[in-house]
Amino acid sequence: MSKTLVLRGPADRWSVRIQPAVLWVCLGLAGLLCLSALVSLSLGTYPTTVPQIIQALSGSEDLSGIRLILLEIRLPRILMAILAGGALGLAGLLLQGLVQNPLASPDVVGITSGASAAAVFTLWITGSAGGTPLLVPAAIGGALVVTVLLVMLSWRGGVSPTRLVLIGVGLAAGLSAVTTLILVVSPDATAMSAYIWLTGSLYAARWNDVFGLAPVVMGGLAVAIAVARHLDLHALGTDLALALGSSVNRQRLVHLLLAVLLAGGAVAYAGALGFIGLLAPHMARRIIRTGHVGLTVISALLGCLILLWADLAGRVMFIPRDLPAGLFVAGVGAPFFVFLLYRLRRQS
Amino acid sequence: MLMTRSTRAAGLLGGIAIAAAALFASLMFGHIPVSVADLYRSVVAYNPGDLEQLVIRSERLPRTLIALAVGAGLAVAGVLMQALTRNPLASPGILGINAGALFLVVVGASLFGLTAPTQLIWLAFAGSGLAAMLVYFLGHEPGRGISPIRTVLAGVALTALFMSFSQGLLILNQERFESMLFWIAGSVSGRSLEAVAPLLPLIAGGLVFSLLLGRQLNLLGLDDEVTQGLGLNVAQIRLLTGLMVIVLAGTSVAIAGMIGFVGLIVPHIARGLLGTDHRWLIPGAAVIGGALLMGSDTLARLLIPPREVPIGVVTALMGTPLFLHLARRVGQSS
With a CB cutoff of 8 Å and minimum separation 6, the contacts of A58 are none
Question: Which of B221-230, B245-254, B321-330 shows the highest mean pLDDT?
Answer: B245-254
% of chain B surpassing 70 pLDDT: 93
What pLDDT score does B129 carry?
92
Please, are residues B102 and B181 in contact by the beta-carbon 8 Å criterion?
A: no
Terminal-to-terminal C-alpha distance of chain B: 27
CB contact (8 A) between residue B182 and residue A184:
yes
Q: Where are the domains of chain B?
A: 60-333
Give the list of residues 6+ apart from residue A263 with CB closer than 8 angstroms, or none.
A87, A88, A91, A106, A111, A112, A115, A143, A277
A189 → chain B, closest CA residue: B178
Query: In chain A, which among 207-246 make CB contacts under 8 A with chain B?
Result: none
Cα dist. A147→A150, A257, A270, B54, B316 in Å?
A: 5, 9, 20, 50, 20
A1: pLDDT strictly greater than 70: no
Whether A234 and A241 have beta carbons less than 8 Å apart is answered as yes
Give the whole-number percent of chain A exceeding pLDDT 90. Answer: 15
Higher pLDDT, B252 or B221: B252
- Neighbouring CB atoms inside 10 A of A246's CB total 20
- pLDDT, tens digit, for every residue of A93-103? 998 887 777 77
Point out the least confidently predicted range of A196-205, A293-302, B142-151, B173-182: B173-182
List the one residue out of A287, A316, A317, A347 whose CA is nearest residue A89.
A287
The minimal CB distance from B161 to the residues A195, A335, A344 is found for A335
A188–B174 CB contact, under 8 Å: no
Is cis: bond before A320, omega within 30 of 0? yes
- Please tell me the distance in Å from A79's CA to the nearest CA on chain B: 24
* Nearest of A180, A83, A111, A140 to residue A268 by alpha carbon: A140
Separation of alpha carbons A115 and A268, rounded Å: 7
Classify A178 as helix, strand or coil: helix
The answer to whether the Cβ–Cβ distance between A153 and B328 falls below 8 Å is yes
Residue ranges of domains in chain A? 17-347
Q: Using CB atoms and an 8 Å cut-off, which of residues 114-173 of chain B contact chain A?
A: 134, 137-138, 140-142, 144, 149-150, 152-154, 156-158, 160-161, 164-165, 167-168, 171-172
Rounded mean pLDDT of chain A? 82
**Best interface-test mutation with B: which of A99, A113, A163 has the largest number of B CBs within 10 A?**
A163
Q: Answer yes or no: is pLDDT of A130 > 60.
A: no
Question: In this complex, is the C-beta atom of A145 within 8 Å of any C-beta atom belonging to chain B?
Answer: no
| CB contacts, 8 Å: B165 with chain A | 330-331
Whole-angstrom distance, CA of residue A199 vs CA of residue B181: 13
H-type helices in chain B, by residue range? 5-28, 36-44, 51-54, 61-85, 97-111, 117-139, 148-172, 177-185, 193-196, 200-212, 214-220, 224-229, 234-256, 262-274, 278-302, 311-333
Residue type at position A204: A
Q: Which residue of A lies nearest to B259 if distances are taken between CA atoms? A: A177
Nearest CA-CA distance, residue A105 and chain B, Å = 12
| Least CB–CB distance from A341: residue in B94, B153, B185 | B153
How many interchain CB pairs under 8 A, A with B?
151
Find, among A344, A296, A333, the residue nearest to A107 by Cα.
Answer: A333
Give the end-to-end CA distance of chain A in Å, rounded to a whole number. Answer: 32
Chain B closest CA to A189's CA: distance in Å?
11
Architecture in CATH of A17-347: Orthogonal Bundle (1.10)
**Three-state secondary structure call for residue A7:** strand
Cβ A334–B332 below 8 Å, yes or no? no
Tell me, what's the pLDDT at B75?
95
Task: Measure the CA–CA gap between A254 and A125, rounded to whole angstroms.
Answer: 32
* pLDDT-based confidence at residue B127 (cuts at 50, 70, 90): very high
CA dist., res. B292 & res. B289, Å (int): 5
The H-assigned helical ranges of A235-324 are 238-243, 248-270, 276-287, 292-316
Determine, for residues A181 and B313 on separate chains, whether the beta-carbon distance falls below 8 Å.
Answer: yes
Which residues does A159 contact at the CB level (< 8 Å), separation at least 6? A99, A151, A252
Q: Say if residue B283 is preceded by a cis peptide, omega within 30 of 0.
A: no
CB-side neighbour CA atoms (13 Å) of A281: 29
Cβ atoms of A338 and B158 closer than 8 Å: yes
Closest residue to B158, CB basis, from A107, A166, A338: A338
Interface test with B, best of A105, A112, A159, A166 (most B CBs within 10 A): A166
Least confidently predicted of A187-201, A263-277, B11-25, B263-277 = A187-201
Question: Could you say which of A185, A196, A331 has the minimum Cβ distance to residue B304?
Answer: A185
In chain B, whose CA is at the least distance from the CA of A273? Answer: B164
Span A31-39, mean pLDDT? Answer: 90
Residue, of B81 and A233, whose pLDDT is higher: B81
B327 contacts A170? CB cut-off 8 A: yes
Q: Do A338 and B165 touch (CB under 8 A)?
A: no
Instruction: Name beta bridge partners: A159.
Output: A155
Q: What's the confidence (pLDDT) of residue A346?
A: 61
Q: From the CA of B39, how many Å to the nearest CA of chain A? A: 30
- The pLDDT tens digits of the residues spanning A269-280 come to 888 787 888 889
Confidence of residue B166 (pLDDT cuts 50, 70, 90): confident
The most confident of A72-86, A117-131, A271-285, B153-167, by mean pLDDT? A72-86
Q: Which chain B residues are Cβ-neighbours of A335 within 8 angstroms? A: 161
Q: Is the pLDDT of residue B133 over 50?
A: yes
- B93 pLDDT higher than 50: yes
The minimal CB distance from B157 to the residues A173, A341, A348 is found for: A341
Closest Cα of chain A to B282: distance in Å? 25
> Is A323 close to B168, i.e. CB distance below 8 A?
yes
For A278, nearest residue in chain B (alpha carbons): B157
Average pLDDT, integer, range B47-75: 87
Please give, rounded to a whole number of angstroms, the shortest distance from the CA of A197 to a CA of chain B.
11
A177-186, A292-301, B68-77, B108-117 — which is least confidently predicted?
B108-117
pLDDT greater than 50 at residue B135: yes
The better pLDDT of the pair B330, A254 is held by A254
Alpha carbon of A106 to those of A1, A114, A257, B60, B100: distances in Å? 36, 10, 12, 42, 23
List chain B residues with CB under 8 Å of A196.
Answer: 171
**Cα(A344)–Cα(A274) distance, integer angstroms:** 21
Of the given ranges (A112-116, B6-10, B112-116, B209-213), which has the lowest mean pLDDT? B112-116
Of B252, B255, B124, B250, nearest to B191 by C-alpha is: B255
**Binning pLDDT at 50, 70 and 90, where does residue B181 land?**
low
Is B324 part of the contact surface with chain A (CB cutoff 8 Å)? yes
pLDDT in the model for residue B332: 57
Predicted pLDDT of residue B74 = 94
Q: Can you give the pLDDT at residue A131? A: 59
Residue-level pLDDT at B176: 66
Integer Cα distance of B291 and B64 in angstroms: 10
Whether residue B135 contacts residue B151, with contact meaning beta carbons closer than 8 Å, is answered with yes
Indicate the fold that domain B60-333 takes in CATH.
ABC transporter involved in vitamin B12 uptake, BtuC (1.10.3470)
Alpha carbons A297 and A303: distance in angstroms, whole number: 10
- pLDDT in the model for residue B334: 46
Distance from C-alpha of B72 to C-alpha of B78, rounded to nearest angstrom: 10
Helix (H, G, I), strand (E, B) or coil at B209: helix
| pLDDT beyond 90 at A85 | yes
Q: Which of A110, A143, A181 is nearest to B156 (CA)?
A: A110
Indicate whether this model's pTM tops 0.90: no
> Average pLDDT for residues A112-141, to the nearest whole number?
81
Top mean-pLDDT range of A39-48, A106-115, B223-232, B286-295: B286-295
Mean pLDDT to the nearest integer, A144-163? 80
Q: What is the pLDDT of residues A188-246, one digit of tens each?
A: 777 777 777 777 677 777 888 888 889 989 999 999 888 888 888 877 877 787 788 77
A183–B contact, CB cutoff 8 A: yes
Most confident of A200-204, A280-284, B27-31: A280-284
Do residue B149 and residue A184 have CB atoms under 8 angstroms apart?
A: no
Among A179, A180, A201, the residue to mutate for chain B (most B Cβ within 10 A):
A180
B contact residues 13-72, partner A, Cβ 8 Å cutoff: none
Is the pLDDT at B72 greater than 80? The verdict is: yes
Query: Out of B153, B168, B304, whose CB is closest to A103?
Result: B153
**A331/B contact by beta carbon, under 8 A:** yes
Chain B residue with the nearest C-alpha to that of A110? B156
